[in-house]
Structure 1
Amino acid sequence: MAGRDDLGACAELVRRGDPDRFRAAMAARPSARGVLFPLYAFNLEVARAPWVVSEPMLAEIRLQWWREALEEIAEGQPARRHEVVQPLARALDAEGARLLDTLVAARRADLERAPFADEAALWDYLDATAGTLHWVAARALGAAEEDVVRAAGQAQGLAAWLSAVPELEARGRLPLPDGRGEAVARLAKEGLGRLGQARKRRAAVSREARAALIDLAGSAAILARAAAAPARVAEGRLAPNPLRERLALIAAASGRW
Structure 2
Amino acid sequence: MDFDQDLNACAELVERGDPDRFRAAMAAPVAARVTLFPLYAFNVEISRAPWVTEEPLIAEMRLQWWADALAEIEGGGVVRRHEVVTPLAHVLDAEGARVLAAAVEARRADAAREDVADEAALDGYLADTGGALLWGAARALGSRQEARARAVGLRLARANWCLGAAELQRRGRRPFPRMEAAAVGALVARWQDDRADLDEAPSKPQRLAELCAWRAGAVLKAAAGDPASVMEGRIGGSEVGKRVSLALRAAGIGRVA
TM-score scaled to structure 1, two decimals?
A: 0.94
Q: Write the deviation string for residues 60-119 of structure 1: whole angstroms up to 9, x where unpaired.
A: 111111111110100101221100000000010100001111110000010222221111
Question: Match of 1:185, as an amino acid?
Answer: G
Cα distance in 2 for partners of 1:215, 1:183 equals: 28
Q: Write the deviation string for residues 176-206 of structure 1: whole angstroms up to 9, x where unpaired.
A: 1111222212222222223x445432x1x31
1:228 aligns to 2:225 (yes or no) = yes
1:113 aligns to 2:113 (yes or no) = yes
Alignment of 1:144-159 (within 5 A): 144-159=144-159
Q: Aligned-pair distance for 1:4?
A: 1.5
Check the 8 A contact 1:215/1:252 in 2, yes or no. no
1:173 maps to what in 2?
Answer: 173
2:215 maps to what in 1?
Answer: 218
Cα distance in 2 for partners of 1:16, 1:119 equals: 31
Q: Aligned-pair distance for 1:50?
A: 0.6
Task: Note the aligned Cα RMSD (angstroms).
Answer: 1.4
Check the 8 A contact 1:115/1:175 in 2, yes or no. yes
2:133 maps to what in 1?
Answer: 133
Which of 224, 235, 242 is the matching residue for 1:245?
242
Percent of residue pairs identical: 50
1:51 maps to what in 2?
Answer: 51
1:28 maps to what in 2?
Answer: 28
Any gaps of 5 or more consecutive residues in structure 1? none
1:207 aligns to 2:204 (yes or no) = yes
Cα distance in 2 for partners of 1:75, 1:199 equals: 33
Cα distance in 1 for partners of 2:241, 2:172 equals: 32
**Paired residues, what number?**
253
TM-score scaled to structure 2, two decimals?
A: 0.94
Cα distance in 1 for partners of 2:121, 2:47 equals: 18
2:14 maps to what in 1?
Answer: 14
Cα distance in 1 for partners of 2:154, 2:107 equals: 15
